[in-house]
């Protein structure tokens, strides 16, 4: 029973990750606004973090990061590290997440995206001597954040229902044991 629960949970999250990834790499580039694309995988990682906790958040972040690394030209493992940390950080907010309002998800996604921007800037731009943070902040990070937050409103509901489904699974497992 326990093994089945874990398999079902991993399958659900894996499927969601797969869909988000396909969306990010193949579809989002058609919806470029002001030169930026929204960061679907970041929404996925962050939401899973504050809905399911630190461990799931970190693991989901690691998996999304590894997938991104596959199709990026940077050092392999860079995105995995960044996304893993972001998923873990979001996990701290599980305690105050009750699923009753959109305020917390929106604030968290916005903050996560900004932190992501700073991390990428520091690790991949500043290290090559590209200074001028204010430019990158205004022209890359903020537009991406706004677009990602808008999209996160759409993504919140499927993610919310997935979370409910996982909760029901967990309850059934606990009942089965008792």
Which positions lie near other proteins, rule CB under 8 A? 18, 21-22, 24-27, 29-30, 35-37, 39, 41, 53-55, 58-59, 62, 65-78, 80-81, 84-85, 88, 91, 120-121, 124-125, 128, 130, 132, 135-136, 139-140, 143-144, 177
CA 20 to CA 31: how far, in whole Å?
15
Of 139 and 161, which has the nearer Cβ to other proteins?
Answer: 139
67 near 26, Cβ under 8 Å? no
Give the number of other Cβ atoms within 10 Å of residue 22's Cβ.
12
CA 1 to CA 38: how far, in whole Å?
39
First to last CA, the chain: 12
Of 11 and 102, which has the nearer Cβ to other proteins?
Answer: 11
Of 64 and 163, which has the nearer Cβ to other proteins?
Answer: 64
CB 46 → other proteins: shortest distance, Å? 16
CB 72 → other proteins: shortest distance, Å? 6
Of 43 and 68, which has the nearer Cβ to other proteins?
Answer: 68
Of 41 and 108, which has the nearer Cβ to other proteins?
Answer: 41
CB 75 → other proteins: shortest distance, Å? 6
CB 42 → other proteins: shortest distance, Å? 10
43 near 155, Cβ under 8 Å? yes
57 near 90, Cβ under 8 Å? yes
Per-residue tokens: 167: 């909760």
CB 101 → other proteins: shortest distance, Å? 25
CA 83 to CA 24: how far, in whole Å?
15
């Amino acid at each position: 029973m326990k093994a089945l629960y874990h398999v079902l949970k991993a399958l659900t999250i894996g499927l969601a990750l797969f869909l988000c990834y396909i969306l990010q790499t193949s579809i989002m580039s058609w919806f470029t606004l002001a030169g930026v694309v929204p960061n679907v995988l970041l929404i996925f990682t962050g939401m899973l973090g504050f809905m399911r906790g630190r461990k799931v958040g970190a693991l989901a972040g690691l998996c999304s990061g590894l997938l991104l690394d596959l199709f990026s030209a940077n050092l392999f493992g860079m995105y995995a590290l960044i996304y893993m940390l972001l998923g873990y950080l979001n996990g701290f907010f599980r305690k105050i997440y009750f699923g009753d309002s959109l305020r917390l998800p929106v604030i968290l996604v916005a903050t996560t995206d900004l932190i992501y921007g700073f991390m990428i800037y520091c690790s991949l731009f500043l290290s090559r001597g590209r200074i001028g943070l204010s430019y990158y902040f205004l022209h890359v990070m903020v537009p991406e954040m706004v677009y990602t937050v808008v999209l996160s409103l759409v993504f919140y509901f499927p993610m919310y229902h997935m979370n409910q489904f996982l909760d029901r699974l967990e309850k059934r497992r606990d009942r089965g044991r008792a």
